[in-house]
Amino acid sequence: MSRVDLAPGAINPPHSHPRASQIGVIIKGKVLVGFVTTANVFYSKVLKAGDMFVIPRGLVHFELNVGKGKALFLPAFNSQMPGIVILPTTLFASTPPIPNDVLTKGFQIDAKSTLETLQTIFVNGFPCKPLSEVKSDDFFFDGLRTEGNTTNVFGSKVTSAFVTDFPGLNTLGILMSRVDLAPGGINPPHSHPRASQTGVIIKGKVLVGFVTTANVFYSKVLKAGDMFVIPRGLVHFELNVGKGKALFLPAFNSQLPGLVVLPTTLFASTPPIPNDVLTKGFLIDAKVISDIRSKLGS
């Protein structure tokens, strides 16, 4: 995960990431985000705080601050080392320099036609929809603008940008969510079978912890701008330990990471796990089980 700051009018110039698809969310400002496919189709949209975008691996893209003030966005990648190819410096400021002939001929800089060669440099998967049906909105999503309703027994709400609402994510192996926590609220102990997770705190004070397969517990209290990482499949939680509401944005290296919420998995499944399994497995009385079940509304 990264943070990208843009001064008014500034650009994150055309570039690509050879080893990763990218997902991102605008935190502040007004940003034009665009990319060009290998079929040379340009998709773009002006995004505001809470809006998301997705950029398929290896495609040329940019982000331009089109607002009046500063802009900030947070990209996440499904690689710990996505690589970056910044086209202006790659083409015109490499060491040693690319021979002039390559550039004048390649870009027809002294002739009429323009940048036809770039599209063949980059790698992409096959489109999942007929190209004629693909539109810019497939790659942008505003569903994370809205605060989740935390009026429930845990005081937390996870809102995810799934491929069903955000079609451009398909086959890219990335997902981002927002998690709202009421004061004292918890995202209860859970695991994601199919993904490692990274995340950044946007607001509030959050205790984040996980337990390894060697039964070691790692945890820390995090504030706005702080990050965490949870290895795939490990049991973890996030607890709001501040006075106000908290918000964090997790990102996953799967488009469908899966979610096993331990309280509901163990005590509120359908049909229920037999009491004997729980009393013997957790060394507790049946009374404890029925208490938990009734509080979970099961």
Binding residues for Mn(2+): 190, 192, 236
- To the nearest whole angstrom, how small is the minimum distance from the Cβ of residue 161 to ligand NAG? 20
- Binding status of residue 146 toward ligand NAG by CB under 6 A: no
Residue number with CB closer to ligand NAG (134 or 182): 182
Q: Computed over its alpha carbons, how large is the radius of gyration of the chain?
A: 23
Sites for ligand NAG among residues 213-242 (CB under 6 A):
none
**Residue 65: CB partners within 8 Å, gap ≥ 6?**
6, 7, 8, 9, 10, 11, 29, 30, 31, 71
- To the nearest whole angstrom, how small is the minimum distance from the Cβ of residue 149 to ligand NAG? 4
Build a one-symbol-per-residue string for 155-194: x at contacts with ligand NAG by CB under 6 A, - elsewhere. ----------------------------------------
**Residue 227: CB partners within 8 Å, gap ≥ 6?**
1, 198, 199, 200, 201
- Binding status of residue 297 toward ligand NAG by CB under 6 A: no
Pick out the residues of the known binding site.
Answer: 187, 190, 192, 236
**Out of 95, 132, 151, 215, which residue is the one contacting ligand NAG (CB under 6 A)?**
151
Sheet strand arrangement including 197-203: 156-160, 175-181, 246-252, 197-203, 227-230
Instruction: Report the C-alpha gap between 137 and 43 in whole angstroms.
Output: 8
Task: Find out whether 233 and 257 touch, Cβ atoms under 8 Å.
Answer: no
Residue number with CB closer to ligand NAG (187 or 255): 187
End-to-end CA distance of the chain: 38
Q: At what angle do helices 275-282 and 286-295 cross, to 10 degrees?
A: 110
Instruction: Report the C-alpha gap between 168 and 36 in whole angstroms.
Output: 13
- To the nearest whole angstrom, how small is the minimum distance from the Cβ of residue 257 to ligand NAG? 25
Pick out the residues of the known binding site for oxalate.
Answer: 187, 192
β-pair partners for 85? 16
Size of the site for ligand NAG (CB under 6 A): 2
Residue number with CB closer to ligand NAG (99 or 297): 297
- To the nearest whole angstrom, how small is the minimum distance from the Cβ of residue 53 to ligand NAG? 27
**Out of 149, 212, 290, 294, which residue is the one contacting ligand NAG (CB under 6 A)?**
149
Residue number with CB closer to ligand NAG (55 or 179): 179
**Alpha carbon 180 to its chain's center:** 15
Residue number with CB closer to ligand NAG (240 or 255): 240
Residue number with CB closer to ligand NAG (137 or 147): 147
Task: Find out whether 289 and 264 touch, Cβ atoms under 8 Å.
Answer: no
Residue 18: CB atoms within 10 Å? 15
Binding site for ligand NAG (CB under 6 A): 149, 151
